[in-house]
Amino acid sequence: MVTSSDDPVETLRRWERSGAVWRVLGSSRDGVTVGLFSCDGGEEMGRIVSGDARVRAYLDARPDSETPEVAV
Tens digits of residue pLDDT in 9-42: 999 999 999 999 999 999 999 999 999 999 888 8
Q: Does the residue 66 lie in any domain?
A: no
Res. 49 pLDDT band, cuts 50 70 90? very high
19 within some domain:
yes
In a domain, 71, yes or no: no
Determine, yes or no, domain membership for 51.
yes
* 46 within some domain: yes
Query: Residue 2 falls within a domain, yes or no?
Result: no
Strand partners, 30: none
Q: How confident is the model at residue 2 (pLDDT cuts 50, 70, 90)?
A: low
71 alpha-carbon distance from chain centroid:
17
For the beta carbon of residue 20, count every other beta carbon within 10 angstroms.
18
Q: How many domains does the chain have?
A: 1
Which domain covers residue 48, as residue numbers? Answer: 8-61
- On whether residue 49 sits in a domain, the answer given is yes
Q: Is residue 1 part of a domain?
A: no
